[in-house]
Structures are given as structure tokens and as C-alpha cells.
Amino acid sequence: MKIICVGRNYVKHIEELQNERPTEPVIFMKPDSAVLLKQHPFVIPEFSEDIHHEIELIVKINKVGKYIDAKFAHKYYDEISVGIDFTARDLQAKLKAKGLPWEIAKSFDGSAVIGDFLPKSQFSSLENITFELTNNNSTVQKGNSNFMLWKIDELIAYVSQFFTLKIGDIIFTGTPEGVAAVKSDDVLEGFLEGQKLFRIQVK
């Protein structure tokens, strides 16, 4: 299983981190060891003092594809969910300042939360779907796929130019504004159109 992630796909998130707006999707990967196991807490790693939550819409690939045309991309997934791309922001900033790759700030063990999947047929339009993250019952991030720079099908078409997509691969489609640090004893819950798809305890 590959975890393919998209950065800088929401304008307000780009602005809050003072990043440059990309002309093409920003792609990075997480290994399968990044997946936080079900019912396990997220343990803040000792190498960072600034772990941020980033909630995202995610899709699960359901058949093998390469060089997929955007107009056919909808055939390559039938389930959708929400997840968290945990980011060691302090480590990422240090590596970015040196012009170095920042995978270790994004791809460490437990950095990928994957919620329960729902059939995409349950939703009238995936280009207008709301999702949110709460921390201790207060909403901290709220987004809508309508504000994506690149929509889900466009992302699938783009990444399939470089990577063969296989059954079970997960695509994280980017986070909206509102990212912030987590601390011990936080409880994070992810919702898609009001349906709770994960609950994570931070330790």
C-alpha cells in the first residue's frame, strides 16, 4: 500500500503557512508504517515539540491504473473518508530552510490517521463535500472540497503519471486552514458531512 499525499491544495492553508502557491500539485509519500493502527493512541514523538494536525479528505484506490485520464479517474475509487497528516512542523521548517527533503517531518511512524471509509455514492457531489476536525469537542479545522486547487479526479490523473496506482493505495488530498499543534490528552475526531469517521487520543 502506498500513501500519496498532496500539499498546498487549499489557498488559505498556503497563506497561513506563508508558502508559495504552486502551479502543479505538490506530492510527497508516506510509508505504510506511517499508518496509525486502529484503536491506538497517537504518541507525540520525542524528536519534535511542534506536531500539527492536518485533516484531509482521503480516497482509496480500487483498481490498478497508470496514465489515467481525469475524465476516467472516478472509476478508480469508490470509497472516501477523512484522515490526519500529522506533521512535525519544527523539523519541517528546519529542513525546508536548508533546502532539504522533509519526509521525516511527514512520514514518521503513526503520522497517518485513516478514518472509516464510506461509499462515495452516498454523497451527491464530491466537489462540494464538507469535512471537519474537532479537538476536545471544539472545531479546529473545517474544509470543503470546493476550495481545492486540484479536485480529486485531477489529482488521481496527475499522480498516475508518475506512480502506478494499485488496489488499496490511499491518496491524501490536502488540508484546509486551521492547522495547529496537538498536546498530550487531546482528543481528535474527524467528520465527513457530519459523520464521525475517527477518534484519536493524543499521548
Residue 90 sits at the vertex; the CA angle it makes with 40 and 149, to the nearest 5 degrees, is 80
* Domains of the chain in sequence order: 3-201 (3.90.850.10)
Give the pLDDT confidence of 15-56 residue by residue, as tens digits.
Answer: 777 777 889 999 999 999 999 999 999 999 999 999 999 999
CA distances from 43 to 40, 89, 172, 186 (A): 9, 16, 21, 11
* pLDDT for residue 147 is more than 90: yes
* pLDDT for residue 128 is more than 80: yes
pLDDT on residue 18: 73
* pLDDT for residue 13 is more than 80: no
Mean pLDDT of 96-106: 95
Asked whether the beta carbons of 86 and 52 are under 8 A apart, the reply is yes
pLDDT on residue 160: 98
- Residue 15: enclosing H or E segment and its boundaries? helix 11-16
| E strand intervals along the chain | 3-7, 26-30, 51-53, 55-61, 77-85, 87-88, 112-114, 118-119, 130-135, 138-144, 170-172, 180-181, 187-192, 195-201
